[in-house]
Amino acid sequence: MATLKPFRALRPAPQNAVRVAAPPYDVVSTDEARALAAGNPDSFLHVSRPEIDLPPGTDEHADEVYAQGARALADFTARGVLTAEAGPRFYVYAQRMGAHRQTGLVACASVQEYVDDLIKKHEKTRADKEDDRTRHIDTLSAHDEPVFLTYRAVSAIDAEVDAVKAAPPEYDLTTADGVEHKLWVASEAAGARIEALFRKVPNLYVADGHHRSAAAARVHALRQGKAGEHGAFLVVVFPHDQMQILAYNRVVRDRKGRSADALLGELKKVLDVSPADRPEPAGPLSFGVYAGGRWWSARVRPGSYDAADPVASLDCSLCQDQILAPIFGIQDPRRDKDVDFVGGIRGARELERRVDGGGWSMALHLFPTKVEQVMAVSDAGLIMPPKSTWFEPKLRSGLFAHPF
């Protein structure tokens, strides 16, 4: 069963939402965050990226940074930029990015169900990033950014969510990236029905936010026996059939300094390579390859991988096993400086720019991982390779927070 609970959100008044809403902390650098928040004291980046209000060069992990985040959240509350909901509620959050639409439920999920693996994971976490989010959340005494969850779609839940959306939204804003965001406050009666329906959902899955969810569990452990709603963490839960995953592409540098023709020759030994008239691969088990100033198609050969293995059969695994390791000698893509990862939102032009600029030898355009593959890996208790998924659109920070 999936336990989702309503909560008293700390959130902006409708007229302030567009000034408060900000990109997630982990998709912008400190310099980008500082530029985005310039001249806007209400930007949530002052909370989620508090180093922007300290002298340039301040270590992001210094004690003063976490303390500044707590001061910023307290300031937002004191100035009325964020106010607490009168009582616990569920919220419905809809996003539109081009032709794609997705609608999720904003709620609090159970830390214990995360620990017990009823909320399933597919990614390894890094200790340093876990430490950072743990300190941030613990110092704030709030979950300031939600974890992005999914579940196998249930038509009855869809119907209840659609009924909430029949009313005018509380928030209706379009951010600078062209993404539309709308938020509704569910009535107590609608929330009770939705909560009951989710009790029949066997599992939730972490789509994006593994470090935030792991940190929430660590904060709960630190605060065992202390007052506060730290046994729950902030989530937005989307049905799987509304999820959009873009490709997570690679650029690679050849340590041996081989020419593009030589690298393509190595590629042809293991894959079926032919000229391509577009960057994107036509389907799974193939790659768009940019080298020598043009695009190529490289297709995986039948029988060269274990099709029954939910991890080994992923395109990102095949990229690692058949290209990065044997041709470029990259054994640990998490740490190797000769490979970099480029989110699909940046497009093929970014891959071309990286290679044509001389810093990289080859670009690899992958076919996007399917959400069903993510769930299959999670169900098997396995781990996806690094940088397997790029979910879009991103959840906007600052529209709701969970103080505890």
**C-alpha 373: how far from its chain's center?**
16
Query: Quick one: 306 exposed, middle or buried, by C-beta within 10 A (0-12, 13-18, 19+)?
Result: exposed
Q: What one-character DSSP code corresponds to residue 275?
A: E
Omega of the bond leading into 12 within 30 degrees of 0 (cis): no
CATH top-level class for 248-367?
alpha beta
pLDDT tens by residue, 246-258: 999 999 999 999 9
Q: What is the mean pLDDT of residues 48-64?
A: 97
Query: Quick one: 200 exposed, middle or buried, by C-beta within 10 A (0-12, 13-18, 19+)?
Result: exposed
pLDDT(67) > 90: yes
Q: What is the pLDDT of residue 190?
A: 98
- Cβ contact 362:289 at 8 Å: yes
Mean confidence (pLDDT) of the chain: 97
Q: How far lies 19's CA from each of 75, 98, 142, in Å?
A: 15, 22, 20
Q: Identify each DSSP E strand in 6-153 by its residue range.
A: 10-11, 83-84, 91-97, 100-110, 119-120, 142-143, 147-151
Point out the least confidently predicted range of 115-119, 148-152, 332-336.
Answer: 332-336
What are the sequence ranges of the domains in the chain?
4-244+393-403, 248-367
pLDDT tens by residue, 266-305: 999 999 999 999 999 999 999 999 999 999 999 999 999 9
Q: What is the pLDDT of residue 226?
A: 96
pLDDT tens by residue, 369-381: 999 999 999 999 9
Half-sphere exposure of 385 (CA within 13 A, CB side): 23
Per-residue pLDDT band at 386 (split at 50, 70, 90): confident
- Cβ contact 290:366 at 8 Å: no
Q: What is the pLDDT of residue 334?
A: 86
Tokens 């839960």, located at residue? 237
Q: What is the CA radius of gyration of the chain?
A: 22
